[in-house]
């Protein structure tokens, strides 16, 4: 009984702490993320090559609409309508013999993972990711989720967020990104440590062209209601 009571108090404390942090981050820009800390630590201990972390927060209003649409077109086209989980994509991934786990992961899930968790695959991480994604959908607006995602996701080795990526790879602020540049940045998201938006491989170019076609199909007004 005593063990159960202690476990219950510990679980309640964890839930309370995560709620406080998530509610706070609804308005406050994250100073860093778990992925940034993990990448830096990996370089320090020698698990990965040392890298300089580049991160610069920018608000929604100064992110080019093309950049917002590009990541949705590339990563999660049902983002405006789902509740954090794309059930159809999950079912398709489970039914495919060589499923790509990223294909079933929504922008909400990726935001939760980037902010709070670690890279790799495990049932523990997936469970925590689902819990945190549900909290994000409960406490944040869709616009806030996409805004944070655009600011913390990795677009290059050690390059986090749309502003840092835009300046590093195209020499301009995120507010001035065009559709071609935005599509190239979205195209490297599955493997930002190896793929480059400024020096795209043939595979990245094919993916970027596909993203542009999907952007055109969705239309510029697709995210207007966020």
38 part of a folded domain: yes
Given a contact cutoff of 8 angstroms between Cβ atoms, the answer to whether 98 and 53 are in contact is no
200 part of a folded domain: yes
115 part of a folded domain: yes
State residue 101's pLDDT score.
44
State residue 7's pLDDT score.
61
State residue 100's pLDDT score.
47
Residue 140 per-residue DSSP state:
S
34 part of a folded domain: yes
Number of separate domains in the chain: 1
139 part of a folded domain: yes
Given a contact cutoff of 8 angstroms between Cβ atoms, the answer to whether 117 and 34 are in contact is yes
Residue 54 per-residue DSSP state:
E
Mean pLDDT by 10 residues, the chain (226 residues): 65 78 94 93 81 94 97 96 76 54 78 91 88 95 98 96 97 97 97 95 97 96 92
State residue 1's pLDDT score.
63
State residue 122's pLDDT score.
81
62: which 2 tokens? 């100064």
224 part of a folded domain: no
How many CB atoms lie under 10 A from the CB of residue 130? 14
Q: Which CATH number covers residue 97?
A: 1.10.3810.10
Closest of 183, 200, 202 to residue 75, by C-alpha: 183
210 part of a folded domain: yes
130: which 2 tokens? 């689902």
223 part of a folded domain: no
State residue 99's pLDDT score.
46
* Buried-state track 169-200, b at ≥16 Cβ within 10 A, e below 16: bbeebbeebebebbbbbbbbbeebeebebeeb
Q: 68 is in which domain, residue-wise? A: 2-218
């Amino acid at each position: 009984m005593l063990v159960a009571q202690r476990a219950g108090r510990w679980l309640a404390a964890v839930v309370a702490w995560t709620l406080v942090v998530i509610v706070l981050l609804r308005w406050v820009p994250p100073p860093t993320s778990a992925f940034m800390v993990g990448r830096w630590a990996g370089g320090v201990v020698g698990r990965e090559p040392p890298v300089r972390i580049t991160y610069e927060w920018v608000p929604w209003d100064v992110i080019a609409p093309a950049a917002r649409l590009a990541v949705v077109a590339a990563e999660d086209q049902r983002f405006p309508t789902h509740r954090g989980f794309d059930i159809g994509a999950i079912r398709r991934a489970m039914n495919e013999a060589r499923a790509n786990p990223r294909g079933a992961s929504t922008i909400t899930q990726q935001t939760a993972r980037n902010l709070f968790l670690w890279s790799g695959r495990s049932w523990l991480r997936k469970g925590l990711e689902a819990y945190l994604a549900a909290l994000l959908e409960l406490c944040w607006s869709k616009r806030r989720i996409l805004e944070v995602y655009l600011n913390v996701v990795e677009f290059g080795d050690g390059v986090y967020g749309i502003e840092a990526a835009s300046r590093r790879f195209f020499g301009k602020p995120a507010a001035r990104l065009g559709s071609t540049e935005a599509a190239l940045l979205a195209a490297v998201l599955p493997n930002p440590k190896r793929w480059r938006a400024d020096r795209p491989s043939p595979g990245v170019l094919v993916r970027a062209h596909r993203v542009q076609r999907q952007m055109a199909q969705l239309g510029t007004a697709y995210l207007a209601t966020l």
